[in-house]
Each structure stands twice: as structure tokens, then as C-alpha cells.
Structure 1
């Protein structure tokens, strides 16, 4: 049920070490056919510099392929407000609520200047949470949209934001540029029930501070649409440069570089759907490990070593005493809210950084109703398990 994602998102926006309950057994890998990968996919069009490739099968040819990488010039600073923005490959909306079934996705954005985005985000100021819903291709326009929404949200002190994405992919280079920005901007990435995150969208997924997945995540080989290669060796030489960029990107954003290797093995007219276990293994689900390390350093400086030690102890106790595959959301949240008092939370010095601090906000949007035992809860519905093969 969507309400399951609501509660887990609320919790994981604050608990940096939050992890999904133990996954169901994998049913085996799933390969789907895609009719037109150019309609989404993982498309690379940026020029690459490669050394001349000699005929295949020679020692010299193999050596030249290994040495094709060339230093790239530093990209020019992006200026998100320099030109008018129009979304031609997708649609976006902003909501201040995570329950899209009951509350919807908000009004579709039609204006993307500062005033228009500020008006759309104004209702989110009180709760400090905004959800950007985006359905469409990953393009430069999408990256600009995220940058603009982030800047306006920062100016309004809306620090908790969720990118609710549904995308079949798009341009690799645009996804990497947008992902690097997202990685510095404190976003949770949500692939909700019925949504997909395929191909280049996976690069967006990897960049989030927290990744919550209930829909499909799939990968396949990168397509070189602008290639002038006439031999397999020439095409592979170009792809090696592109994949080296992808590996560097995945590494700096806390995901396994093995994702790039797996992509190479899936034809671009097919789609390999990642299982729950693979998403966790490759660092694409749950808390971003790179961000978790950074958060520990930040919390150490802001709240002190004792705070971080108590927070870590709480998370371990929460995982051990509150989580199980059959625990419903009322019990999960009630257990966490009761348990945190044993570790001195909410902390008087750092209340906003305390585990489950979103339940302390005095807002109708985020405050769940009282359960029978007096503890706050989110829903009486039992959670649906995520399909392990999708």
C-alpha cells in the first residue's frame, strides 16, 4: 500500500541508518524486452576522445583500447536561471504530502521562474517537507528543474525534500550532471508503487541521500547515438570512455561500480530488472553509504560525539527490537517512538537531528494520529511486501 512508503519515507528522512526489513527470497532474474530504447534508455551523445584503434586481434589494438581515456576539460558552471525553462520531455508537480493516494500529487507545474516555484512551495513551509513528482525522461531540462526547486526550497527553509520519480531513462550525461547536484542537495529518491526507474534513471537513484523503492528498477547497455564507429573495436573504445565516467560517478556517490559492468552485459533492447537483494548489494536502496559517512562527521561537529554514539545505539536497537517482515506500520512507529526515549531522544541540544524528529513537528500534514496506546502512528494498514523480482 502507498501508506507504507509514506511512513518509511518519513522515518528514513531522519534516521540515516534506516534499512528495509529483510527481503523476500529472490525469484530469479527478470529480463524484459523494450521496443524503442531511444524513447528512454541510457543514451550517450557527448563527444569522447579515443586513441586510434588498430585492427582487432592485435596486441597493439588491445593496448590502445586500454589507454583511450583522456582528461576531460572542466565543465562550465551551470546557470539554472540563465534561460527560460520548459519541460518538453516530462511533467512535474509539487506536493507537501507524501500520501499521493489520498492527497494527490499537487498542481502540475506550468511556470518555473522563482515566483512560480515559490508559490508552489509556499504550502510546504510549515511542515518543512516538499515532494517533487516527476514523470518523464531524464534530460537537461529535468536537471535544471531540480536545481531551481532546490534553490527556492533552500531559501524557504524547506530542508526535507523527496524526488518522486517515474522515468524510463534518458541522457547519460544529463543524468550524471543532475545526480551530482542531487548528491549535494539532500534529496530522498522515491520510486513508488507502479513507477519505474530504468536505464539512466538509475544514476539519479544512486545520488539520493536515501533511496526508497517499491517500483521497478532496471538497467541495460548504454547506447551511443552519435557514434561514428564502423568497427566493434571503435565502438567499444568509445563505450569504455563513457563507462569509465559512469564508474567514477557511481563510486563517488556510494554505489557499486559493478552496476556499470552489469549494464555492459544487457543488450539495449532488453532490460534487466534488479531484485531487492541486488539493489541492496549494489548500494542503490536505503541510505546512501557515502552520505551516511558524511552525516556522521556533520553530526559529530554539530551535536557532539555522545549524540552520534546514542544515535547509533538507537538505530541498532530499532533494527533488532522493532523491525520484522510482518511488523505493521503502527507497531513500527510506536516501537521507535517509545524506544528513542531510552537513548535520550529527542535531544535538547539537537532536537531536529534526533531520530523520528518529523513526528515532533506541530503540523497537520506530517503528524500521524494517535494509536490505541497513545503513541503516534501513521496507518492501521499492514504493509505490502515489495516484490523481490521487480
Structure 2
């Protein structure tokens, strides 16, 4: 074959391979959005100079000019409802991170006082910016029931810690719902929630120092030691066992160690944040009384035993909690907003935007005939898997 024909044929072959590897003609932006769902992505630690800024005090964050920021390798949606199975499901796409854009996106949730943010993508500086900006605007608008509905294969350790500190001081419940994942650096974000409800998959592995100049194990260990010390300090202030960091060290970066429901509870990554629970008990003892705290403790034990079964869908877990709260006198008449799982106390909230009166009546009486959801009927019938 003449050499002059080789190059065109090679180009045709490469083009053909490219089509086979990308049968859906996926654009670069689409590929970047889909990529975070892959299992086993790297968890990286970056140079200190490249890390997101530490979280500033709330007043300073609200008053200072907001620099340009955007989501990269991720997407966010805003909803004023806890019902992700109904239309519009995840909610309305968030157009950007400018203050005016966030204020407009959250405005429909003001009357109800409930915000659910669905985030799917990488844990990176854009996500860290999203976390504190949402908290500032939600506080400004008086939206105090806040849910982060998370689906992420991980990303940067430093970004996760900055985002987690913003989440930890601003009152968020974190969901990892069925079909969603929270892997590697995402676990640090999960740790920061006041309450965590997990039905999806949570996995860990070793971090990789992308700026490393190490040429031996000893040098690499010294570089990583400072990062792990920061990680352990972060986990401790969020009531999570530092054993999580130790376990991460044993799992190669290319692998993934999924945590069981029992391990999530053992490590303090599922259910009530232990540190936040201590703070709330002190405040609630004064404001709501001893009886309130005793009933709340008893409810949380029953909720863990009866509702949070491994493999159960989050909708079913929430429905079970709604029904169970009545047995313990919740929502409490004196302290309704301090009642456990107050973010799903739909009976105490105005209708969500677009909800019909009939739909809200059904949600307000989850135990009433004809008002149960599909997940509740499955649970009652024993169709949902036991742990």
C-alpha cells in the first residue's frame, strides 16, 4: 500500500473508534456531568494555595462582595418539597451562583420555609462556594428547614472540608437517597449534616496527593500525615469516628470500600450528628423541657430500629418517621421546629408551590385511608427488604 494512503485510512480508523467509544455522541459538557457518577474516582488532596477559602463568619459572608463563581463538573436543582418522586422531582435547575440568581431561585420556598437542594457532581471549589452561598441566602430569606440531596463520587478533600464547615454551621439535613452515591471526599460532606439519612451507597478509599514530590513511601507518608491530621480534626468536630480516616488509608485509591448500614451507624455517618445533638439537647432542655428531650431520645431510638432498614427507599424511611412521630407526641405543640425530623413535618407547613389541596391533605395525614404513598404501602405489606 502506498504510504500516501496510510494517513487517510488511519484517520478513518480513529474516527470509527471514536464513534464506537462515544455511541451517543456525548458532548464534553455532558460527559463532565455524567463522569461524577462513576465508581472509584480519585479522592485528591491539593496544594494549600489552590484550596478554597476557609469559611468566614456568617455576617461577613453576607456583607462582602461575592466573587465570580460557577459549578464545574456538577449541577444543582432547587425544590421546596421533600417529595422527590413527584413532578418536578429534583426541582428547578439552578442557573448560577450569583446572589441575584440564588435569591430568585429560593424565593418560591420562602412561604413554606423549606429548601431542598439536589446536587449531583464533583466535590470541588464550585461546590464549596455553592454550600455557603445557599446558606447565606436561605438565612436571609428566613428558610430554616434545609435539605442537601447529594449524589457525588467525590473530589477534593480540602473543598469537602470547606463545604462541610459551611454546612455544619447552618443547619442542613443530608440525604443520600436510593440510586445515589457518596464516595471518597463526599463522605466528609456527609459528616457535616445535622442529620443524615442514607439509602444509597457510601464508599471510601485512600486519598492521592496530586502535588506530591515524594520518591519514597516515607516521603509520601510525611506529606499525607498533615492532611490526615486535618481530616481527623474535621471528623472529630462533626462527631464522626476518626477510624474512618484510618480505614481510608488501607483502601487503594483505585478501589472502593462500601460501608454497610451498621458501619455507617458505628462510625457516626448515619442519623443524628452527635456533636449537634449535644448542642441541641442543652438548648432544648431549657426551651422545651425535660419531657420533650426524653420523648425525642425515645423517638430517635425507635426510628433507627423500625424505619432505617438497609435497602429501604428514603421515601419509605421518611413516611415511617412521619407515622412514628405521632406515637411520641411530635410535632410538639410548644417546640414544633425542634421536633425530630422537622424538615419532613409537612403537616406544619404551607403547601409547596404547585401542590394541590388534595395532595397536601394526603401528605398531612400519612396514616389516613387512601393517603399512603406507594412506599408506605410497600413497607406496611412487608415488600421492602429487611436488613
Relative to structure 2, which stretch is displaced further, 302-311 or 128-137?
302-311
The structure-2 alpha-carbon separation of the partners of 1:129 and 1:257, relative to structure 1 and needing over 3 Å to count, comes to same
Name which structure has the greater RCO, CA cutoff 8 Å, separation 6+. Answer: 1
2:324 to 332, 336, 339: 336
Pair 1:295 & 2:283 matched: no
In structure 2, what is the Cα distance between the partners aligned to 1:38 and 1:313? 37
What TM-score, normalized by structure 1, do the two folds share?
Answer: 0.73
| Superposition deviation, residue 262 in structure 1 | 0.6
Tell me the residue number matched to 1:101: 85
In structure 1, what is the Cα distance between the partners aligned to 2:304 and 2:93? 38
- Taking the TM superposition and a 5 Å limit, the aligned residue runs for 1:118-197 are 118-197=103-182
Tell me the residue number matched to 1:360: 347
| Superposition deviation, residue 41 in structure 1 | 2.5
| Superposition deviation, residue 313 in structure 1 | 4.5
CA contact (8 A) 1:39 1:170 kept: no
Quick check: which one's helix share is greater? 2
| Superposition deviation, residue 252 in structure 1 | 1.0
Pair 1:382 & 2:383 matched: no
- Taking the TM superposition and a 5 Å limit, the aligned residue runs for 1:105-120 are 105-120=90-105
| Superposition deviation, residue 201 in structure 1 | 0.5
Structure 1 residues without counterparts, runs of 5 or longer:
1-33, 49-73
The structure-2 alpha-carbon separation of the partners of 1:105 and 1:372, relative to structure 1 and needing over 3 Å to count, comes to closer
The structure-2 alpha-carbon separation of the partners of 1:387 and 1:272, relative to structure 1 and needing over 3 Å to count, comes to farther
CA contact (8 A) 2:309 2:386 kept: no
The structure-2 alpha-carbon separation of the partners of 1:335 and 1:114, relative to structure 1 and needing over 3 Å to count, comes to closer
Tell me the residue number matched to 2:12: none
- Taking the TM superposition and a 5 Å limit, the aligned residue runs for 1:1-390 are 40-47=41-48, 77=56, 81-103=65-87, 104-315=89-300, 332=320, 335-341=323-329, 346-355=331-340, 358-365=345-352, 368=363, 370=365, 373=368, 379=374, 380-383=376-379, 385=384
| Superposition deviation, residue 376 in structure 1 | 7.2
Superposed CA RMSD in Å reads 3.5
CA contact (8 A) 1:126 1:363 kept: yes
| Superposition deviation, residue 202 in structure 1 | 0.5
What TM-score, normalized by structure 2, do the two folds share?
Answer: 0.74
CA contact (8 A) 1:340 1:355 kept: no
The structure-2 alpha-carbon separation of the partners of 1:355 and 1:206, relative to structure 1 and needing over 3 Å to count, comes to closer
CA contact (8 A) 2:196 2:270 kept: yes
| Superposition deviation, residue 308 in structure 1 | 2.2
CA contact (8 A) 2:145 2:172 kept: yes
In structure 1, what is the Cα distance between the partners aligned to 2:36 and 2:335? 52
In structure 2, what is the Cα distance between the partners aligned to 1:215 and 1:151? 28
